[in-house]
Amino acid sequence: MELPLFRHNRPDRVVTFDEYREEGGFEGLKKAFSGMSPNDVQQAVLDSGLRGRGGAGFATGRKWSFVPRDLPGPRWLICNCDEMEPGTYKDRVLLEHNPYSLIEGMTLACYALGVRHAFIFIRKGYEKAAANLARGIEEAKQAGLLGEHILGSEHSIELDLHLSAGRYICGEETALINALEGKRPNPRSKPPFPAVKGLWQGPTVVNNVETLANVPAIVANGAAWFKGLALNPEGAGSKLFCVSGSVKNRACVELPIGTTLGDIIDGACGGMRDGKKFKACIPGGASTQFLKPEHWNLPMDYETVAKAGSRLGSGGVIVFDEGHCLVEATLNLINFFARESCGWCTPCREGLPYVKEILTRIENGRGEEDDIAILREHVKYLNYTFCALAPGAMAPLDGLLRDFEDEVREHIVKRKCPLK
């Protein structure tokens, strides 16, 4: 079965508008506009079991259903392309090869949600993707697939590209909304959730690039088809896995949901690099706990990965081999999070540098036995922050202390990094 996201990809260049159409692109849009009501589109997405690919894995159809339909004033759709989670680069690969699935998907989402104006919030550094999107939007408009009176209907949908200066926190949906409004990208308190009060206080849906790019195929082929793509019964659809670290071919690949970790590494990525032994991996971007060798045959799906004590997250898989120090790896991630904290709430702004200081000492052989307890306090109490950045930042540390406490302790006892 052909997987929906990468099926139009050319190895060395972006697919053209004509190629995309010839290969069945914009069929979903046409189908929707000739006979499906907005509710039908939303129902298809709901039935398909599509879950948000931005990290939290929230059911997309359900999120859409939270948008009140009877409020006066405009509603908004925002595509989140701030992709800055370490280890995650799927949205870039997707858009550098094919901007059209996203454009079509957003048009369909607008149709379903009654949105007339949608935004793509794209981070700095993604200029190539942005150029593709800008061109794609123009082409779609020219072809009557976007803009005024789409396919001759009474529906008009506008799509705007917003190039952001780029901060990790801008990916948090409410901070993103503030940024789009021209304010400081501090998150907003929830509730109210964006679906009720978002951009300019109007109901707003924020979805990830990959989430929205799945919608055309769902509408074109039906919910059951999409569900059937997954290898396990609970799952639905395909997933982009962007793999980095100790594998032979570091690549972004599209695989059915439910593909096992081992199949991703050994199959799609050609196995471990230099015959090294798999020690651990972070399965879903920097804010997820480690998976271990015992998870080699774990089907990569939201439910099963959660049961294994981690999260599928964004699908950014970072693979570590036996030569990697996980204290150092965790410290590296904490460095990122400490730098990217927005600075709004105390635990994140001050707690992350605290953790960083402790991990730095441990890695440099100056750790103390009490440090582990302090780190554990942070893992627990950084859950009580204003937004999900700090709890996410604690996930790898949580994993480190849960699965590799011995390695941490060895650093402290030997007064040096045992792997150096």
Q: Which residues bind ligand SF4 (CB under 6 A)?
A: 169, 187, 341-345, 348-349, 385-387, 389-390
Q: Please identify which residue in 122, 206, 342, 362 interacts with another protein, judged by CB under 8 A.
A: 342
Q: Distance between CA atoms of 40 and 106, rounded to whole angstroms?
A: 16
Asked if 304 interacts with ligand FMN (CB under 6 A), we say no
Applying CB under 8 A, what is the total number of residues that bind another protein? 30
Other CB atoms within 10 A of residue 420 CB: 11
Under the criterion CB under 8 A, does residue 200 sit at the interface with another protein? Answer: no
Q: Using CB under 8 A, which of 18, 357, 405, 406 touches another protein?
A: 357
Q: Which of 94, 108, 169, 265 binds another protein (CB under 8 A)?
A: 169
User: Which of another protein, ligand SF4, ligand FMN, none does residue 55 bind (CB under 5 to 8 Å by kind)?
Assistant: ligand FMN
d(CA 112, CA 261) in angstroms, rounded, equals 35
172 forms part of the interface with ligand FMN (CB under 6 A): yes
Radius of gyration of the chain (CA): 22
104 near ligand FMN, rule: CB under 6 A: no
Q: What is the nearest approach in angstroms of ligand SF4 to the Cβ of residue 51?
A: 23
User: Binding another protein by CB under 8 A: which of 341, 393, 394, 411?
Assistant: 341
Interface residues for ligand FMN in 310-369 (CB under 6 A)? none
Q: How many other CB atoms are found less than 10 A from the CB of residue 296?
A: 15
Nearer of residues 230 and 333 to another protein, judged by Cβ = 333
CB of 60 to ligand FMN, least distance (A): 6
Q: Where are the beta strands (DSSP E) in 70-227?
A: 76-81, 117-122, 158-163, 204-208
Nearer to ligand FMN, 179 or 281 (CB): 179
Token pair of 312, please?
């599928």
Q: By CB under 8 A, is residue 189 in contact with another protein? A: yes
Compare residues 106 and 359 and give the one whose CB is closer to another protein: 359
- Residues in Cβ contact with 397 at an 8 Å cutoff, skipping those fewer than 6 apart: 330, 334, 355, 359, 375, 378, 379
Residues 6+ apart with CB under 8 A from 74: 115, 116, 117, 200, 202
Q: How far is the CB of 133 from ligand FMN (least distance, A)?
A: 15
Q: Contact between 173 and ligand FMN (CB under 6 A)?
A: yes
DSSP secondary structure string for all residues of 325-393? -HHHHHHHHHHHHHHH--S-SHHHHHHHHHHHHHHHHHHTT---HHHHHHHHHHHHHTTSSSSSHHHHH
Cis before 191 (ω within 30): yes
Q: Interface with another protein by CB under 8 A: which range of 15-23, 31-39, 243-251, 380-388? A: 380-388
User: How many positions of this chain bind ligand FMN (CB under 6 A)?
Assistant: 26
State which residue, 282 or 338, has the beta carbon closest to another protein: 338
322 binds another protein (CB under 8 A): no
What does each C-alpha distance from 374 to 95, 261, 370 come to in angstroms?
Answer: 42, 33, 7
Query: What residue type is 143 in one-letter code?
Result: A
The least CB distance from residue 325 to ligand SF4, in Å, is: 26
Could you say whether residue 353 binds another protein (CB under 8 A)?
yes
**CA distances to 41, 171, 214, 349, 388 from 123, in Å:** 29, 9, 21, 23, 19
208 binds, options another protein, ligand FMN, ligand SF4, none, Cβ within 5 to 8 A by partner type: ligand FMN
Sequence letter at residue 19: E
From 162, 273, 349, 376, residue interacting with another protein (rule: CB under 8 A): 349
Does 387 bind ligand FMN (CB under 6 A)? Our answer is yes
Tell me the C-alpha distance between 333 and 307, whole Å.
23
For ligand FMN, the closer of residues 211 and 304 by Cβ is: 211
Could you say whether residue 174 binds another protein (CB under 8 A)?
A: no
Token couple for 180: 């789009």
Lay out the site mask for another protein across 39-78 (x = CB under 8 A, - = otherwise).
Answer: ----------------------------------------
- Picking from 76, 112, 117, 79, the residue whose alpha carbon sits closest to that of residue 199 is 76
Per rule CB under 6 A, is residue 82 in the interface with ligand FMN? yes
- β-strands 316-321, 278-282: how paired? antiparallel
What is the per-residue DSSP string for 46-88? HHHT-B-SSSS--BHHHHHHTS-SS-SS--EEEEEE---STT-
Which residues are at the interface with another protein (CB under 8 A)?
167, 169, 184, 189, 338-347, 349-354, 357, 361, 370, 374, 377, 381, 383-386
Which residues are at the interface with ligand FMN (CB under 6 A)?
52-56, 58, 60, 63, 80, 82-85, 168-169, 171-173, 206-208, 211, 387-389, 392
